Amino acid sequence: MTPTEDTSRMIPDSGDGSSYGSVPERRKKKNKTGRNVLLIFGSLVVIAALVAGGFVFNLINSFDNKSGKIADAFPVESSRPTKSAAAEDAVNILLLGADSGGGSGETENLPNVPNAGRSDTMMLVHIPGDRKQVFVTSIMRDTWVDIPGYGTHKINAAFSYGGVPLAVQTIESLLGTRIDHVASIDLAGFKGLTDAVGGVDVNVPLTFTSSHASGYVFEKGVQHLDGEHALLFVRERYAFSDGDYQRVRNQQTYMKALIDKLLSRDVLSNPTAITNSVNELSPYIQRDDSLNAVALGQLGLSLAGLNKSDMNFFTLPTSGVGRSADGQSIVLPDEAAIADLGEALQQDTVGEFVEQRGL
C-alpha cells in the first residue's frame, strides 16, 4: 500500500523532556494505557535492576514466582539476525505494552484476528557493552512497516498477528539487530510501584483539569502524586491544545521524577522500600524465560555507576505523518535514518548515532 505523505516532520524527543515537531491529527478514540506505562517502564527496566541489585538474591523467589513467563518469546532461529562481534557484550531489551482492548488503529481490518490485542507501545532498551550509558528508543505505535508474512501495517499489529514472537521478529527485521530479552508490563504495576516508593514529587508544567477523573485539577508547580494521580497525570491529553505532545512531555517529566525517587537515599538505603517495589511490580511483568531475577541483578551490578544523566531517550526516526491507501492515519518511518540506527546497534555505537543527530 502506498500512503499519502504529509509534509510535516516528526522530530525525536529532546533530552530535557520537550517534544518538538508538528502536532499530528488528534485521535478520536480513547488512547489505551499500554503506551503510557511503557514510557515509564522504559526507564525503569534498568533502574529496577539497579535498585534490586544489592538485594536480588533475597528477592529471587519473589520476582521469579510472581512475574509471568512468555512461552516461546522469540521467532525461529533461522529468521533471526546474528549478533556482531562488536556488539557481543551489548544487551537489547524489547518492551511491550499490550492492550487486549484493541489499542490504537483498532479499525484497521486484521483478517482472521477479530478484536485481537495489540502492543500499544514498543520501546527498545539498548545497553552498550561498556555499560556507561543506556539508550531507550520509543517506537511510534502507528509506524507503517512490513510485518513478516503479513505485509505492511502499523507496527502494533504485529502482536495481533503473531504475538510476542512476531513482534520481536518485526523489530529485528526493521533494525537488522538481535533482541536479547523481551518483557511486557501493564498499568497496574506502574501504579503500584509509585505507591510502593511513597509517591513522587512532580513539577506540573501548567494547570489543567483531568478528563479521566471528575473535576480533579492539577495545579502548576511541584505536586506530590500518589499512584492514582500519577496515572491521571501521564494519561491526560484531552485537556491540552496539542494533545499527545503535552502528554509526552508530562510523561517525561514524571519519568524523571520517578527515577530520582528510585535512586534516592530513601529508597536505595531502605530494604523494605526495595522489597515493596519489586513485589508490587513483579505480578504485572511478563518476560522471556532468561530475563529472571539473577539476570536483572547481574545487569544491575554491571550498571553500578549509572545515574540519571546517563540515560538517553529518543524516538525511532520518522519522516512525517500520512494516510494509508485504506485511510488510516499512520507514521512514516525514516528508512535511511533507521538503517543508520540499525548499523549503530550492530556496531555498538549508538552513542555516536545519538550525538551526531543531536538527540
Q: pLDDT value at position 61?
A: 73
Give 120's pLDDT tier (boundaries 50, 70, 90).
low
Burial (Cβ within 10 Å: 0-12, 13-18, ≥19) of residue 211 = middle
* Greatest mean pLDDT among 12-21, 108-117, 316-325: 316-325
Give 44's pLDDT tier (boundaries 50, 70, 90).
low
- What does the buried/exposed string (b/e) look like for 302-321 if buried means 16 or more CB atoms within 10 Å of the residue's CB? bbeebeeeebbbbbbbbbbb
Lowest mean pLDDT among 118-122, 137-141, 214-218, 322-326: 118-122
Average pLDDT over residues 2-11: 41
What is the tens place of the pLDDT at every residue in 174-210? 999 999 999 987 766 678 888 988 999 999 999 999 9
Average pLDDT over residues 111-137: 74
Contact indicator for 129, 123 with CB cutoff of 8 Å = no
Higher pLDDT, 7 or 126: 126
Higher pLDDT, 313 or 180: 180
Mean pLDDT rounded to a whole number for the chain: 78
Higher pLDDT, 90 or 9: 90
Lowest mean pLDDT among 4-18, 74-88, 261-275: 4-18
Q: pLDDT value at position 17?
A: 38
Contact indicator for 268, 53 with CB cutoff of 8 Å = no
Q: pLDDT value at position 99?
A: 40
Domains of the chain, first to last: 4-197+269-353 (3.30.420.590)
Higher pLDDT, 174 or 13: 174
Q: pLDDT value at position 96?
A: 85
pTM of the model: 0.76
Give 43's pLDDT tier (boundaries 50, 70, 90).
very low
Strands 144-147 and 151-154, bridge-based pairing? antiparallel
Q: pLDDT value at position 251?
A: 75
Average pLDDT over residues 330-356: 96
Of all residues in the chain, what percent carry a pLDDT higher than 70?
74
Is pLDDT above 90 for 343? yes
Burial (Cβ within 10 Å: 0-12, 13-18, ≥19) of residue 220 = exposed
Give 25's pLDDT tier (boundaries 50, 70, 90).
very low
Q: pLDDT value at position 340?
A: 98
What is the tens place of the pLDDT at every residue in 225-276? 999 998 888 878 789 886 665 776 787 788 778 878 877 777 767 777 777 8
Cβ count within 10 A of residue 349 = 17
Average pLDDT over residues 63-84: 92
Give 21's pLDDT tier (boundaries 50, 70, 90).
very low
Average pLDDT over residues 25-52: 46
Please write down the long-range contacts of 350-357, taking CB distance under 8 Å and 24 or more positions apart. 350/126, 350/128, 350/135, 351/128, 351/133, 351/135, 351/312, 354/135, 354/312, 354/314, 357/12
Contact indicator for 190, 37 with CB cutoff of 8 Å = yes
> Measuring CA to CA, which residue among 287, 290, 71 is closest to residue 183?
287
Contact indicator for 242, 250 with CB cutoff of 8 Å = no
Q: What does each C-alpha distance from 16 to 12, 29, 139, 310 come to in angstroms?
A: 12, 29, 19, 13
